[in-house]
Every structure is written in C-alpha cells, then in structure tokens.
Structure 1
Amino acid sequence: MRDRFESLYGEEMRTSAVLAYQAMYIIADAVERAGSADTAAIRDALAETNYADHILPYSGPITFDDTGETEVASPVVMVVMQVQDGQIVQVWPTDLAETEPIFPCVSWGE
C-alpha cells in the first residue's frame, strides 16, 4: 500500500494518510457487510465490526462500543505531529518519529 501511495502521489505516506485509508477501509467493509446503502444497516454493520487485520501500529482489533465510539485495545494508538518549517512531521512515538519534537514550541509568530 505504501509503495502504491508513493507512486501515485510522489511523496511519503504519512500517518494522516494511513489513518484516512484505514477509516475508509472500515466504512467500505461495513457497507459490504450491510449488503446495501441503507444507513441503519451500515450502522448495524459498523457496530459489529471486529477488524484485526489492519495497518495501524500498536493497536488491537478495531471495535465500537454501544455509543458508537471506537474501543481502544491498546493504550498507545495515537501519533503526535507538529508543524516544523511549514511541514507537518511526526514526532512521537519515537520509533515512528520523523524527527525530534521542538519543545517548548515556538510562538505562532515565528
């Protein structure tokens, strides 16, 4: 997937692209399982989602609770990004970081 993305867009696949891809994949999977475009059927299919074969680091199966919120199977599923030199870069967790974070952050005027 990463190679296809890079050949299509000419740039590295960053976390935001991975998260967007994964979200669309979960929705497409729910629509397919619902068997129709009926919103109630799609909602019900999403509620039954238990998807473990995904591309997100540090995360267990993707599931949803009774309120429709995702249930986090692992305590570390977030990625911290920061704007540096006009570019959004990933700064945490360290094993996925593109660069070191700038801390304390510079003011908005800089």
Structure 2
Amino acid sequence: MLKFTATECGSKVDHGTLICGASNSNAKDAEWHSFIFMRAHRSLDDDSGPYFELDDQSQGFYNGVRSIVLADRSMTIALAPPKNQLFGHRLIIVELACRDSQIAKFRAGIEHVFRDQLWRIRDA
C-alpha cells in the first residue's frame, strides 16, 4: 500500500489525450510521488482504454485499475496490474490537499477517462 498527500491535482487535454493526475511535489520532507490517468479525449478505433502510471512510465499499464473510491478530499485506487509486470502496490490512498477547483477538474477528468467503465468509480 502507498499513501501520500497530493499538493496539486488536475486535468488537461494535450494533443488529443486527456491527462489527469496528482502529485506531492510541493510537499516538504516527503518522498515524491505522482500518478496519472490518461486516455484519448475522444473515442477512437485505436483507443487502448484507461492508462494508469505511478511515478514514471516503468510503472504504467492499460486497463489495470480495479476501482477508484472518491471522497471529498481523498481517493483510494485499487489496482490489478498485468501479471507480467512487476508492480509493488495494489492500493494507493491519496489525500487531496489541492484547491477545490483543481479537485473538481481532476474528478471530471477521471470520469472522462473511465467514460465506458464508470462502474469502476464510486463515491465514499
């Protein structure tokens, strides 16, 4: 399990890809962590589904998020990475110490990334 406090979060569309994520890069005296969810902004024939990445591309994969539980200022991500990928975490708990406007954009981004799998997302 990994637990950290995100000091920034949000989402944006860049070159047709929706990217939403959070990190603790403004935190003092904490080990750095970030994660992103990505997906083509519009449905395309070559859409591989939701992509998740923790800290860097070596810890990234498609279609391996089991569930996301969103609360007011926190989230819990349950992962099921591909069997052939070494990945140490199955549960990530993130406290969102971000501005309310950032959290709203972040939540909307997650819902769009999982637009055809909304059953994976629920409120606490």
Q: TM-score range by the shorter chain?
A: under 0.3
Decide which structure has greater helix share: 1
Query: TM-score if structure 2 supplies the norm length?
Result: 0.22
Q: Relative CO higher for 1 or 2, CA cutoff 8 Å, sep ≥ 6?
A: 2
Larger Cα-atom Rg = 1
